Amino acid sequence: MNDTTTDLQPPRLVLDEESQGLLFTNARTANTFSDEPVDDEQLAAIYDLVKWAPTGGNAQPLRILFIRSPEAKERLIAHLAEGNREKARSAPVVAVLAADASFHEHLDRLFPHRPGMKDYFAADDDLRERQAKFNATLQAGYFLLGVRAMGLAAGPMGGFDAAGVDKEFFADGTWHSILVVNIGVPGPDAWKDRLPRLDYDEAVRLA
């Protein structure tokens, strides 16, 4: 009996190989950035992709603060872990991704077929904050893909004092920072060695 397993080909993805590389397989977390600027049109185009991320009840709680000026960047850097400070300093734009605990104020427009949703979330602070963080985190994944789709590198960082960032930039108390992302064209020595990934049979179960 002939062994034909070597002739089997994996299912073909709709996304072509170049796009797969741009968004996934060749995409890397940059640690340094060039001086090439990132303009307002690029940032707007990134958001126009990110806004299509799925969220429960179409809540869309993700809010973004783009930091570009040296003064504002230093205010942010004071709240970053030591190992993240030079990375942020070299990036032309740093995004602070936040979850808006007042997302429910927009639900009458965003989820019009359930007119009671705004009042439902208004009555439960704990539920509202949990939903805000969960759904904003979903959107944050799309944000990284949006940056990559623009042909830029994203450097997500979780090492920061969230309470300090919130006090520094979000004094109204409704936005709560969840992730800091450096954005730009990669600079010299931007990449560390590629780390391994788990294989399918290590990470997946079928039921």
Full set of structural domains in the chain with CATH: 30-180 (3.40.109.10)
| Tokens (6 digits) for 161 | 């004092």
Of 61, 177, 173, residue with least CA distance to 127: 61
What's residue 53's pLDDT? 98
| pLDDT number for residue 9 | 62
List Cα–Cα distances, 16 to 21, 22, 23, 24, 147, in angstroms.
Answer: 9, 10, 11, 12, 18
pLDDT digits (tens, 9 = 90+) for 96-125: 999 999 999 999 999 999 989 999 999 999
Buried b (16+ CB within 10 A) or exposed e, 103-132: bbeebeebbeeeeebbeebeeeeeebbebb
Q: Number of helices (H) and strands (E), helices first, in the chain?
A: 9, 4
Higher-confidence residue of 4 and 199: namely 199
pLDDT band of 11, cuts 50, 70, 90: confident
pLDDT of 158-190, one tens digit each? Answer: 999 999 999 999 999 999 999 999 999 999 999
Q: What is the pTM of this model?
A: 0.93
Which helix (H) or strand (E) segment holds residue 132: the answer is helix 125-149
pLDDT for res 12? 81
The pLDDT of 47-72, averaged and rounded, is: 98
Q: Which region, left, alpha or beta, applies to residue 173 given φ > 0 means left and ψ of -120 to 50 means alpha?
A: left
Rounded CA separation 167/152 (Å): 29
- Please tell me the predicted confidence (pLDDT) of residue 2: 52
Report the b/e string of 2-13 with b at 16+ CB within 10 A: eeeeeeeeeeee
Whether the predicted pLDDT of 1 surpasses 60: no
pLDDT of residue 151: 97
Q: What confidence category does residue 10 fall into, taking pLDDT thresholds of 50, 70 and 90?
A: low
Query: How does pLDDT run across 17-36, given as a tens digit for each residue?
Result: 999 999 999 999 999 999 99
Res 117: pLDDT: 94
**Which pLDDT belongs to residue 135?**
98
| Average pLDDT over all residues of the chain | 95
Say what percent of the chain tops pLDDT 70. 95
The 10 Å CB-count burial string (b at 16+, else e) for 43-74 is beebeeebeebebebbbbbbbbbbbbeeeebe
